[in-house]
Amino acid sequence: MAQIGYKYKLRLNWRTKDRLNQWIGANRLLWNLALSQREMIEHKEFKFRETIAGNFSSLNYNYQEKQLKALKNEYPFFKDLPSQSLQQCLMQLDRAFKSFFKKRADFPKPKKKGKREAGIRFPSLKEGAIEYDKHSRRKAWVTLPKIGRLRFVSSRPFSGKVKNVTLTKKGMDFFVSFGVDQDLKVVGNTSGSAVGIDRGVVHTLAISNGEFLDLPTERIKILEDKIAKLQARLAKKKEFSANWMKQNEKINRVHNRITNIRKDFLWKSAHNLTKNHGMIGIEDLGTQRMTQSAKGSIENPGRNVAQKSGLNRAILRQGWYDFSVKLKWQAEKHDARVIEVAPHNTSIICSACSHKSSANRISQELFRCVECRYEDNADTNAAKNILERAAGATVHNALMDLGLDKNPPL
């Protein structure tokens, strides 16, 4: 049993939008007030926490939840929000601090308007709260406490018990998300074949069988040029004026279109690959480290800053890390295995004779081995090397389970 999220766009009138804006603002204020209160205590007790097992903190959810009544008296607009949603906000903050203490996440950050918004969360949903139109399943409504009946676009059906509901805002649009308990439908792979995948800039995904899956970068570049023009107009407007806000919203909408194009490509690619192949090898890439700026400091200035900046932008445009996350999720759904292997030298090793030389890489797209004269697309050759390493890692893990091999694969 796993909890799967389903997100839908809300269709609201302006009165409901205004009220939800007030709710989101109040939720953001609650998060920031609670965070400030905990920050003051945490910083004072930091030196003591270092010597106390379990990362002691005198401030937790139970303490802050008891202060909600006094907070409502001081700020009456909090009374308009469902009490459950306020409690959920404090619970999320408490979980964020626990993750920080266990060194699984950074220190919690304040919420900002339009960025890192705190969604309105409902921990449960009454039976029959979701209704569908008799003539069109795409038209649906959900009834929530204190806000009533909200219409949403049911773009894909779901079944299962709804465990929680979250209202969020992105740009000027509002969304509703349902957390649904479902059994993962494992679809066995009929072919059981194995492939290696090389993530690149020229080709987003190069498959070891010679196929290429490419993000529609031309569409994205057109939208990026549009953003540049819109930002130039934005710079001429008075900051936070009505016209500035309208122009900024236009920019956000174009950004959202780029995000949706990338997500659509990555989800479909991950789904098709895991559905048709039993084992998939990919490189274990540290994308965050790879895309760090090269500008350096005043004392130690970087070199080739402009070129590195362009490469970083190209890597982030392709969504390398996002693809690996989606691939692992789809692999679990389709009963496939994803094997991450070391990325070093995959682009300069010949997949035919294993000869390693930087001279093998003739160009960005051409690979020609100086030893055996084997010729192939450079990304396809790298994908074949990744597949070989993934297969070696699989054999090694099997031998380790039997206690027969203690040496890691090359």
Active site residues: 198, 283, 379
The SS3 of residue 388 is helix
Quote the CA–CA distance of 225 and 228 in Å, as a whole number. Answer: 5
Tokens of residue 247, six digits: 């122009």
Ramachandran area for residue 162 (φ above 0: left; ψ -120 to 50: alpha; else beta): beta
- Neighbouring residues of 339: CB distance < 8 A, sequence distance ≥ 6: 279, 280, 281, 282, 390, 393, 394
Tell which residue, 209, 133, 118, 216, has the closest CA to residue 169: 118
Residue corresponding to tokens 């949403």: 152
Do the strands 194-199 and 139-144 form a parallel or antiparallel pair, or are they unpaired? Answer: unpaired
Quote the CA–CA distance of 175 and 169 in Å, as a whole number. Answer: 6
Task: Give 130's Cβ-side CA count (13 Å radius).
Answer: 22
Task: Give 298's Cβ-side CA count (13 Å radius).
Answer: 0
Quote the CA–CA distance of 48 and 55 in Å, as a whole number. Answer: 9
Biggest distance spanned by C-alpha atoms of the chain: 80
